[in-house]
Structure formats: C-alpha cells, structure tokens
C-alpha cells in the first residue's frame, strides 16, 4: 500500500478509537449501488428544455430553469421518487463503513443506503432529515445520519434547485451549524464526494477564517484519471485529455489544503475498498474473543486454570484490548473477573470499553430453532472480533467428557470471517487439536513472521508457567496489530 494511505489509516484509526471520526458520503458512494448521478437524473429534464446534458455544468441552475418553466417542482419530485426508491444493493464499501465504530455520518445523498447498511450491521440509526429532527434524539442510538440535502421520503423538501440552495440558510441553518461544529471537533473522511457543493464550500470557508491555522485535518479520496477512462478516443487524444484532467485535479487538491483536507490518491476504486477493509481489520483486532469450555481441566487442574484465565483476561484489558466472551462453561467467570479487576482499579476506564458479554441463550422459546439462534450468536461474535483465543474445549455428554463441538464451530466460523485464531495447546482437548491444525499451516492462519511463529510454538510448551504463557499470548496479539 502507498505510504500516504498507510499514514491515513494510522491517523484515522486513532480518531475512530477516540470517538472523533465522521464520514461525509457523496453520490459516488451510492452510484455503484444502482442509483443515478445528477447528470443522469436531470438528463430528461434537460431534453424537455431542449438542452444537452453533456454541455451543462451548472446542474443546479438547470433544475431551476425547469421549475421556472413548469411553474413548480412536481415533475422533479416525481423524478426523485422514481430514481431513489428502487431496489439497490449494499455495496462492499458501504458495508465496511457501516461496520466501523463510527457514530457520525453526513451525506448529500437522498437515498437510504447508508441507513440500510447501518441497520444491517445491527446499529440503531437516528435520521436527521429536516431541521426539526435535530432537536430530538433517538434513545440508545448507535449512529446519526445527517441528510444535508434532504431525503427521498420528503422529495418536496429535497435541496436540488437554485432556490433551494439560496434559501438553505433560512430553511436548514441548523444543519449548517451542526456541520460546522462537527468539522471543528471531528476528523472527516469524505468518500464519493466531488467538492462541488456550494453549501459545503461556504461552511469550509467560514471555518478556515474562524480557526486560521488551527483547523482539524480531514481526508478525501480521489481517483487519478487513467487512460482507460477515455474510451473511443485515439491514444494521442486520450493522453492529452488525461494529462489535462490530472492537472486540473492537482489544482483542486492543492485548493482543498486551505481547508486542511488532505487528498488520498488512488489509481483504482478497489484501493478504497482495501483501505476500508484494513481499517476494519485493525479495529476488530483490538477485540479479542475468548472461546472456551471446560467441564474438566486436565493436567492444568481447576485452580491453576482459573488463575491462568483470570490473569490473561486482566492483562489483555490492561493493554487496552477489549474482550468478547460467550461466558463459556468453566472459564466464563474467570474471564469476567479478570477483566473487571482492571476496570475497577482504573479511574477512567468503563466496563463497556473493556468487555462485551454475549452469553448464549439457554432457554429457547418453543417453536424457535436453538441451533440457528446459537449460530447467529457465534456469527455476531466473530464479526465483532479480530483475534480469537481458544482454551480447553470439553463438555459433559451423559456421563462422558467429550470434545466441545461448539468450540470447533467457533474456530471454523472465525477463520471464515478472517479472525486470527490463537489456540492454547497446553490447555488440551479441542484447543490442543486446533493448535496442531494451525501449526501445520501457520502462514495460512495469519502467522507470517518468524516472531509470530516462535511465540505460537510456545503455546504448546507444557513447561511454561501461567505468566510465561500469558506473555506469549499478549506478544502474539500485539504483533498482530
């Protein structure tokens, strides 16, 4: 990956972890889902006016001309409904954005794709469509979506014409004020945005004047024009056009630095997906799933096992990792007690920042499929986590102690979801079998460096003390960051 993108990932990751990150989504995020650009939206309108859309640059003015000619905007409202209520897919980029622990989303899009993606990620969404919405809050909301130009549910209030933009401050002044506050206090990632919006430019200009050199850094993606963009042109003509567009882009990029917006240049849109995936991976790898079940503790013995699990959980939380646990039989209490022992000894750390409890439901209502419910639970846990530690792995079946099939399912699911597995072989049972499986193909499971492989081999060394084992596990978790 380019150094510039690596630096962005590192800095934006810090903003996310500090709860100071925000997204500003433009039309470029919705068009791949199946929605139209402004030019396509207004193509028929231009034809009605006997104009050619490819010759028009002032699309806001074009929409106003149509309203002037028709004496109202009923036809435009219907056009919005026709185009933005149709079925569309949730793109990979939207899916990745929705998974990030980001609370604040701004958009000029009329469609519902951001909200749908967030809801699919099991987040409660508080939509802000008109100014009146800003004075009330949805209880227990996970994300706030500010529809700066309105929403398809209220097409007559969508910001589209010159009148709408000129009256913006009188009709939607609170959106301007709220955006100004977020631009001052949060780090924005602009994605799918062209920076041709007059409202946004006005807001950025005011912030530049107010803050001088003390502005907060923001980021935006731009794709470098490529020769393949000029199909139908001769090689020489395509080269001339490409160099012209690249020069123009450089001027735009330099101008945006006045507002502390740093451009992230990509050659292909797939690079944006890669960056968003990397952000997700790094966020998830701060969440460590502890999978374990123990009716018996083998050579460890119950006392030593409880001490080991307690110290491991406590140390991970001390190192600012968040533990995810399904409260496995025999180890769940030690996981929780270890994590909480550090939380309660630290003044500024909150329980929800250190541990997520996902105990499996034991009494499933009649008529519901318990296997499906448990599978859904495991999937949710795996999608929250980036690393998974596997301990012991046995249960009582009748009078016999057998392997925990649930742990095997969790291992397989975690691997499918890209979670790095850390089976602690010395704890025996399923964990030992999983250690052998991973050890046979270390690079396939994410152990690509010599340091990782050396520490992994120590997880099956029965001579290691609890403290030494804990140190090796934490070392692996640290290296995986």
Catalytic residues: 149
Residues 69, 70, 72, 73: what is their CA dihedral angle, to the nearest 10 degrees? Answer: -100
* Tokens encoding 470: 């804990």
Question: Burial letters for 201-229: b for 16+ Cβ neighbours within 10 Å, e otherwise?
Answer: eebbeebeeeeeeebbebbbbbbebeeee
Bridge partners, residue 423, by sequence? 390
Give the Cα separation of 109 and 91 in Å (integer): 15
Q: Residue 322: beta bridge partners?
A: 287
Cβ atoms of 272 and 191 within 8 Å: the answer is: yes
Compute the distance between CA of residue 395 and CA of residue 329 in angstroms, rounded to an integer. Answer: 8
- The phi, psi pair for 402, rounded to 5°, reads -125, 170
Q: Which residues contact 297 (CB under 8 A, 6 or more apart)?
A: 304, 305, 330, 392, 427
Cα→Cα distances 102→29, 76, 97, 359, 481, Å: 17, 34, 8, 25, 20
> Quick check: 190 and 261 in contact, CB under 8 A?
yes
Which segments of 129-266 are extended strands (E)?
A: 143-147, 187-191, 218-223, 261-266
Q: Helix axis angle, 270-284 relative to 92-99, nearest 10°?
A: 20
Q: Classify residue 287 by burial, with Cβ atoms within 10 Å: 0-12, 13-18, 19+.
A: buried
CA dihedral sign of residues 173, 174, 175, 178: positive
Q: How far apart are the first and last CA of the chain?
A: 16
DSSP 333-396: HHHHHHHHHHHTT-TT--HHHHEEE-PPPSSPPTTS-HHHHHHHHHHHHHHH-SEEEEEE-EEE
Other CB atoms closer than 10 Å to residue 20's CB: what's the count?
17
DSSP 3-state of 132: helix
């Amino acid at each position: 990956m380019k150094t510039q993108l690596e630096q962005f990932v590192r800095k934006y990751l810090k903003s996310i972890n500090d709860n100071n990150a925000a997204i500003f989504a433009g039309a470029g995020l919705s068009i791949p889902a199946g929605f139209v650009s402004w030019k396509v939206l207004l193509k028929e309108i231009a034809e009605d006016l006997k104009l050619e859309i490819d010759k028009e640059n002032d699309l806001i003015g074009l929409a106003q001309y149509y309203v002037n000619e028709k004496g109202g905007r009923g036809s435009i409202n219907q056009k919005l409904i026709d185009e933005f209520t149709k079925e569309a897919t949730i793109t990979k980029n939207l899916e990745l954005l929705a998974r990030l622990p980001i609370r604040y989303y701004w958009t000029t899009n009329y469609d519902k794709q951001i909200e749908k993606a967030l809801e699919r990620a099991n987040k409660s969404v508080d939509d802000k469509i008109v100014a009146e919405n800003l004075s009330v809050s949805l209880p227990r909301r996970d994300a706030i979506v500010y529809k700066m130009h309105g929403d398809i549910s209220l097409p007559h209030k969508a910001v589209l014409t010159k009148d709408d933009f000129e009256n913006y401050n009188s009709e939607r002044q609170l959106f301007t004020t709220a955006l100004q506050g977020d631009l001052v206090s949060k780090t924005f990632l602009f994605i799918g945005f062209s920076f041709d919006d007059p409202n946004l430019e006005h807001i950025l200009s005011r912030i530049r004047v107010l803050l001088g050199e003390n502005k907060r850094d923001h980021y935006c993606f731009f794709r470098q024009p490529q020769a393949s963009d000029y199909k139908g042109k001769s090689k020489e003509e395509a080269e001339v056009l490409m160099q012209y567009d690249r020069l123009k882009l450089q001027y735009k990029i330099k101008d945006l630095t006045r507002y502390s917006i740093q451009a992230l240049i990509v050659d292909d849109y797939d690079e944006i997906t890669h960056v968003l995936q990397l952000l997700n991976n790094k966020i998830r790898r701060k969440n460590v799933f502890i999978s374990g079940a123990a009716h018996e503790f083998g050579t460890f013995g119950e006392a030593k096992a409880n001490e080991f699990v307690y110290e491991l959980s406590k140390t991970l939380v001390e190192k600012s990792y968040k533990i995810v646990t399904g409260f496995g039989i025999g180890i769940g209490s030690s996981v929780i007690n270890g994590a909480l022992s550090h939380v309660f000894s630290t003044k500024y750390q909150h329980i929800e920042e250190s541990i997520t409890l996902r105990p499996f439901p034991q009494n499933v209502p009649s008529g519901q499929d318990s296997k499906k419910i448990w599978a859904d639970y495991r999937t949710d846990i795996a999608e929250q986590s980036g690393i998974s530690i596997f301990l012991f792995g046995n249960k009582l079946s009748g009078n016999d102690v057998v392997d925990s099939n649930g742990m095997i399912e969790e291992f397989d699911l975690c691997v499918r979801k890209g979670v790095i597995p850390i089976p602690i072989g010395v704890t025996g049972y399923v964990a030992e079998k999983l250690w052998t499986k991973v050890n046979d193909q270390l690079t396939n499971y994410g152990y690509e460096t010599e340091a990782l492989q050396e520490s992994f081999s120590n997880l099956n060394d029965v001579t290691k003390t609890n403290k030494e084992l804990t140190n090796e596990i934490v070392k692996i978790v640290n290296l995986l960051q």
